[in-house]
Amino acid sequence: MRFISPHLNYSIVVFEGQEVREADPRTGQAYTRTVQTALIADFEQGGLFPHEVETALRVFDGDFRGLPEGVAPQNRISVYDTEVEAIARGWTDEFHDSVVARLQALQPSRPGAYIQIDDKKQPRPWPKYDEQTEEEILGFQEALGVDPNLILAYEGENLARVDLLEKLTDLAANADATVVMVGA
């Protein structure tokens, strides 16, 4: 899950750290033991997808006030990707889900600080695509000259008809392998 902020390198405490003050039973010496390390979501610059920039500019429109002249608002947008963090830090799926849930729960109390971004889905290749049979789709693809990779991406995310996916994969491979030679 990805979250974006209009603030340069925004940070938020997701989980507070917990420490316990204890005494060594042998010596009576007091010490502090960390029970849970704090988790801070550090948003970073860069790595934004076009639809994320578009969403940020639309949603955070008023939050880009005070920018120096010549600084584009999209240069201020920062992102926090929980899936990247989960891989980098070795989180379990359960812990990842708890981080996402916590960020979602904290968001309403911080309006304008950050928002959750949904994954961009591939657009439908044409309006009545979902209602068409495999043969009709392949016929339209050929007649309209639609890139089979676009249809393949949409089909894979949405309807996932196995036979059609196989045929589209073959078409896409053939289209990618086609090389146009220009004579000198």
pLDDT in tens, the chain (184 residues): 999 999 888 999 999 988 888 888 898 898 888 878 889 999 999 888 888 888 888 888 767 777 777 778 888 899 999 999 999 999 999 999 999 999 999 999 998 899 999 776 777 888 888 899 999 999 999 998 888 888 888 888 778 888 888 888 888 888 765 544 445 4
Q: Strands 78-81 and 44-45: what pairing?
A: antiparallel
Q: How many whole angstroms separate alpha carbon 127 and alpha carbon 132?
A: 10
Q: How many whole angstroms separate alpha carbon 132 and alpha carbon 52?
A: 31
Q: How many whole angstroms separate alpha carbon 150 and alpha carbon 61?
A: 31
Give the domain ranges of the chain. Answer: 2-19+35-117, 129-177
Residue 15 pairs with which residues in a beta bridge?
Answer: 39
CA dihedral 165, 171, 174, 175 (to 10 degrees): -120
